[in-house]
Amino acid sequence: MTATRPAKPSAPARAWNDAELPAALLAIDATGLGGIVLDHASHDAAREWVRLLAACLPPGAPVRRVPGSVTDDRLLGGVDLAATLSSGRLVVEQGVLAASDGGAVVLPMAERASASVIAALVGVLDTHTVRVEREGIAAEHGARLALVCFDESADDEAMSVALVDRLAFRVTGMSGFDASPRTCEVLSQAVHDAREIARHVTDGAAWLAGLCELADAYGIDSMRAPLFAWRAARAHAALHGRTEVTEEDAAAAARLVLLPRAVRMPAPPPEPAAEEPPPEAPPEPPPEPPQDSADDSPPPPPEADTSNDEPETPPDEKEEASDDPRPPADILRDAVESTLPPGVLEQLLARAGAARGVQGRVGEESVSLLRGRPRGSRHGMPRGGARLHLLETLRVAAPWQRVRGRTDRTQRVSLRKDDFRIRRFIERNGTTVIFVVDASGSSALARLSEAKGAIEMLLAESYARRDRVSLIAFRGTTAETLLPPTRALARARRVLAAMPGGGGTPLATAIDASIGAALAAQRAGTSPLVVFLTDGRANIARDGTPGRPRAGEDALSSARVFAQQRLSALFVDTSLRPDASIRAIADAMLARYVPLPAANGDALRGLVRTVQQQAAGSAT
Amino acid sequence: MRHVYPFSAIVGQDEMKLALLLTAVDPTIGGVMVFGDRGTGKSTAVRGLAGLLPPMTVVAGCRYGCAVPSDERGCSYCDRGHPGHEKVRSAKAPVPVVDLPLGATEDRVVGALDLERALTTGEKAFEPGLLARAHRGFLYVDEVNLLEDHLVDLLLDAAATGENVVEREGVSIRHPARFVLVGSGNPEEGELRPQLLDRFGLAVDVKTPTDLALRIDVIKRRDAFDRDPDAFVAHWEKAERAVRRRIVKGQERLSTASVPDDVLVRATELCAKLGTDGLRGELTLLRTVRAYAALEGHGEATLDDLRRVAPLCLRHRLRRNVLDEASSTTRVERALDELYAVT
């Protein structure tokens, strides 16, 4: 949506667009709403948006940017080493979060933030205080702030779900957003007035129920969503100088808070004649948004700029709303959906579904970003990349200060070369087991369930060993990553159970896909182990054309590429009669060949042992 | 003073509340692991406990919060006869509920050399960590499945042995650290190692309420709390007192509550049927059913009491069966149905 619009004279009922509104609402109720995700906003648009937010916040409120490389002690506060050393007593320095109390914190590249940064932010959003529990310090500071995250994730990354869930808003499509000085001025004035009113906004309880019901209809699990929506509706009412939440406020809140979280489409409302509320769990969503509802308002232009399009809210709207025979949730849904151009809802849902798909990976990924398990310190000089462990160094030096002639507090701490300590880490070098499963219609199909059983056993073992597992299935003309590397067994099992079968055997494509996945796992700092389960009778060439000879040649050439990458692999031949041509492919991959003509319990256990040994060997 | 959301004002989530009350009555049950969706009031419930629990009597001046009369050994302050005070003076202190932030370092958890005293006086003194602060209270770890493994090991080790042993940077100290470990996490985001899971006494699955009226209630109460915490807390004060009384009564009755043999036999049968490893399952069942009887005011635990608490105690102790898709709760219920159908 574009945001540039000539500023109108400042009437309290001035209509703001969906990018401007969150800035105002956050400035009115930062602690209640948490913050916002700017979804793939351009650099300029994001900067403009932050400028608008800063203008809305009270004068002098801090707006701090947290670089991705921020360390815990700068974020949360820690020991000020320079001051500690020179004064000879512990000097605590305030972190960015505590310093931003009453303002906002901007987190660019939020999808790359490390687990510890996420944990700190989540704690602040929950408690509005910063608690420091590190390096011998325990302190608590207020941190009532709004968090602005820039989500710039590419397809194999995603923002932490824990964090996203705690932020009320998500704004997409901000290209060309521009906060003119006039907009800033008018909006900040409106926000200033609204802060006074916000305290006196009384309940419009019908709309609260409507928002809850709509959240349910959109398939939103978290209870934070309706809570945020309700707070947003209240702030919206205050922004427009009202002391009661009206349909317009609730609709805006539903659009800004609930819609971006929708994971399914609600069923069309019942005929207006029927007075009962709609069923609580709506059946499967219809393929199209319900355009035939009682409202019948024409779809507005694709600028999703609702408040602009329906400025004629009569002052007695609330009376009307209560007379409206339809339940509030339906009114809200119509209000939300009538503002969207056709097709947008489907896109949103598709994206939400995709986001859901990667959910399980997020925590995993951030854990692997850790610099490894800290393993204390050791004696040595901070040279050649080794990091000085300052506190340990101080601890070592501390008891000797008197002996070394330090008599009073004003004198500097005396450090000798022997005192220096450097940090040691143990690199977490786990294994990622990538299962490449033949789901084609050849003999593999008959044995697909056996293969599934084998994989489940392997999964259970990997889970106990804290390996990560990933699942690629190939059939027809494609190889599809069903499960990105994860440690969540529940999800892996679900995906596996739902794995379809049938079609040709595109072995070459599968090998290519496994190379990509294995290299990605290597980049993530783990050792990949690729386990193929196939009958090996390739009959689809790399370009998707059927034909056994071509397909076999392609598979062999892919296998050679695989070998060149020096990837560790295990080739499980599930065909009933092990065959020399399959062996040839396994050999070309330099993979260990394991025939598995009958998947009985003993054979499976043997296979599990083999995989484990190989996994243990590959993780050094 | 920052208000915490009252425990009794939490809508629904009865099982989680029950599990927390049971551990408050008998901390030896072990920790509670809470699995569940986001935004279901997991952390709210645990933080709500702080305002709820009756204050405890501690040795004045003891940094580890030892009890009066002392039932602890190993506290460096109390074992030396409270240097400076010949007579033990007692004081009241609130039951600690300590949050463990995910970013906490090892030395904050176990304690470390007191840097300030070391620098200023050159004295080697120990500064207690979070484990010491949590003694006789609760240690809450959100997203325990995302905590680094070595920290989880530390926590479970201390929780199991009831003491914290520090041997580092020239400090050699041990102090009591008996606490109830409450972990929460979403298994969709990475699972806990099975060997760690087993060490939690109770496990709870929490779900977002599906009933619309309940959901609206959740939002309304939260909203009321946000708008006027003072009034909200005052409004719930009576209910909070009632729960507190229930806990105190339960603690008093715990020593006299008995578990008859038929309940014990049934508990053993149940564990055998479910194939739980080791004796931890039986022990936890025994303690939990006793705590439940004490909490409910039954002098003697009944078979119905056992049935009520069995899913809490056992659902996380089942062997993963690759052929059985049913959730562990269903499997426990199934075993219960079969056993109780016989009689």
pLDDT, residue A439, reads 79
Name the residue type at position B218. V
Indicate the pLDDT class of residue A367, thresholds 50, 70 and 90: very low
H/E element, A147: strand A146-151
CA atoms within 13 A on the CB side of A62: 15
Indicate the pLDDT class of residue A283, thresholds 50, 70 and 90: very low
B191 near A CB under 8 A: yes
Q: How far apart are CA A437 and CA A501, in angstroms?
A: 10
CA nearest neighbour of A359 among A259, A463, A486, A464 = A486
**Contact by Cβ (8 Å): A414, A455:** no
Options B47, B280, B308, B334, the catalytic residue: B280
Q: How far apart are CA B208 and CA A168, in angstroms?
A: 18
Tokens read off for A168: 């009320």
When comparing pLDDT for B82 and A184, which is higher?
A184
Residue B132 has pLDDT above 90, yes or no: no
Instruction: Read off the pLDDT of each residue in A264-283 and give the average, rounded to a whole number.
Output: 47
Average pLDDT, chain B: 79
- Give the number of other CB atoms < 10 A from CB of residue B327: 13
H/E element, B308: helix B303-314
Residue B288 has pLDDT above 90, yes or no: yes
Burial A298-310 (b: 16+ CB within 10 A, else e): eebeebbbbbbbb
Q: How far apart are CA B220 and CA B208, in angstroms?
A: 16
Q: Going by C-beta distance under 8 Å and a sequence separation of 6 or more, which residues neighbour residue B120?
A: A88, A89, A409
pLDDT, residue A156, reads 59
Instruction: Read off the pLDDT of each residue in A249-258 and give the average, rounded to a whole number.
Output: 86
Report pLDDT digits (tens) over A191-241.
888 888 877 777 777 788 888 888 888 878 788 888 899 889 888 888 888
Interface contact B118-A280, CB threshold 8 A: no
Instruction: Read off the pLDDT of each residue in A594-620 and give the average, rounded to a whole number.
Output: 66
Of B100, B104, B194, the CB nearest to A464: B194
When comparing pLDDT for A594 and B301, which is higher?
B301
Q: How many angstroms separate the CA of residue A176 from the nearest CA in chain B?
A: 34
Instruction: Read off the pLDDT of each residue in A481-500 and give the average, rounded to a whole number.
Output: 76
Q: How many angstroms separate the CA of residue A509 from the nearest CA in chain B?
A: 30
Backbone angles phi, psi at B7, to 5 degrees: -60, -45
Q: 3-state SS of B99-153?
A: ECCCCCCHHHHHEEECHHHHHHHCCCCEEECHHHHCCCCEEEECCHHHCCHHHHH
- Give the number of other CB atoms < 10 A from CB of residue A523: 9
- Give the number of other CB atoms < 10 A from CB of residue A600: 11
Residue with structure tokens 């906003």?
Answer: A41
Indicate the pLDDT class of residue A5, thresholds 50, 70 and 90: very low
Instruction: Read off the pLDDT of each residue in A297-306 and give the average, rounded to a whole number.
Output: 39
Indicate the pLDDT class of residue A318, thresholds 50, 70 and 90: very low
Residue A4 has pLDDT above 50, yes or no: no
When comparing pLDDT for A22 and A603, which is higher?
A22
pLDDT, residue A52, reads 87
| DSSP of B226-255 | HH-HHHHHHHHHHHHHHHHHHHHHHHHHHT
Indicate the pLDDT class of residue A276, thresholds 50, 70 and 90: very low
Interface contact A359-B208, CB threshold 8 A: no
**Contact by Cβ (8 Å): A413, A85:** yes
pLDDT, residue A465, reads 64
Of B130, B150, B219, the CB nearest to A230: B219
Report pLDDT digits (tens) over A57-114.
888 888 888 876 677 677 877 766 667 666 766 677 788 888 888 889 999 888 877 7
Which chain A residues are closer than 8 Å to B220 by Cβ?
A: 205, 208
Query: Lowest mean pLDDT: which of A293-297, A608-612, B123-127?
Result: A293-297
**Strand pairing category for A146-151 and A35-39:** parallel
The percent helix, strand, coil of chain A (3-state, each to 5) is 45, 15, 40
pLDDT, residue A516, reads 87
Q: How far apart are CA B286 and CA A138, in angstroms?
A: 39
Q: Any idea what the Cα angle at residue B304 is, between residues B302 and B310, rounded to 5°?
A: 105
Interface contact A136-B114, CB threshold 8 A: yes
Instruction: Reduce the DSSP state of residue B166 to 3 states and report it.
Output: strand
Average pLDDT, chain A: 72
Q: How far apart are CA A163 and CA A149, in angstroms?
A: 9
pLDDT, residue A30, reads 83
pLDDT, residue A617, reads 61
Residue B315 has pLDDT above 60, yes or no: yes
pLDDT, residue B292, reads 93
Q: 3-state SS of A523-547?
A: HCCCEEEEEEEECCCCCECCCCCEC
Which chain B residues are closer than 8 Å to A84 by Cβ?
A: 119
**Which residues lie across from A568 on neighbouring strands?**
A529
Q: How far apart are CA B218 and CA A228, in angstroms?
A: 12
The percentage of residues in chain A with a pLDDT greater than 90, rounded to a whole number, is 1
Tokens read off for A78: 């820690």
Shortest CA distance from A413: residue in chain B: B119
pLDDT, residue A200, reads 77
**Strand pairing category for A129-134 and A137-142:** antiparallel
Which chain B residues are closer than 8 Å to A266 by Cβ?
A: none
pLDDT, residue B56, reads 76
Q: How far apart are CA B200 and CA B180, in angstroms?
A: 9
pLDDT, residue A503, reads 78
**Which residues lie across from B221 on neighbouring strands?**
none
